[in-house]
Structure 1
Amino acid sequence: MSNSSIVVCEWCQETQAKVIKTSVFWELPDGNRAIEITNTPSIECQGCDMLYQQEETVNEIEDQLLLIDTNVLADEVTYDDLMKVPRKLKRNYFRY
């Protein structure tokens, strides 16, 4: 996703949405804490005021957090740096 490209909003179906990067807060799989993930690819719709992440991005974050040692993560990490953390497993074998 390129920054500021126009997309169709998944909520209102209008073409007033654009790709941006924003901060999201995510609970770690063990439930012990949450982290802030900055510069996360997101969609912002001017038509319905929704701010959300596409399913592909959500799945990437959830898989990565499941497959890495989350103890090495600071309370704040960029999306790109999160995706660069070495995985303990190659893939999420529970996602079909």
Structure 2
Amino acid sequence: MECLWCESEGAEPSVNTVYWELPDGSRSIELTNIPCIKCTICGVEYQEEDIIEKIETQLLLINTKQIGQFMDYSEFIKLPRVLKRNYLK
């Protein structure tokens, strides 16, 4: 798989931990076990666009007061939504 950063063929699927700012800017949360791409050549780890969109959409559609300081990605994605879809797009 080609790395988007160094364009080598050393990228492979992995998981990592990221810190994400809430939409209102009040704080950030730690999300663990997020699918990512990790490059064995340059060492960069990054989320693909579809994962970023899922996180951003979920943060807009849930009650963020339910979220503590950290959360596992699979639990985060399963949180009940206040709205059925993102009307802000």
TM-score above 0.5? yes
Which residue pairs with 2:23 in the alignment?
29
**CA distance, structure 2, for counterparts of residue 22 and residue 12 of structure 1:** 19
Taking only the aligned residue pairs, the percentage that are identical comes to 45
TM-score normalised by structure 2 residue count: 0.92
Q: How does 1:51-70 map to 2 (within 5 A)?
A: 51-70=45-64
- Stretches of structure 1 that go unaligned for 5 or more consecutive residues are 1-6
Q: Deviations over 1:11-63 (max 9, x none)?
A: 22222111111100000011111000000001110122211100110110000
Q: Deviations over 1:57-81 (max 9, x none)?
A: 0110000001100001011100000
- Stretches of structure 2 that go unaligned for 5 or more consecutive residues are none
1:14 correspondence with 2:8: yes
Over 6 Å off, 4+ runs = none
Alpha-carbon RMSD = 1.1
TM-score normalised by structure 1 residue count: 0.86
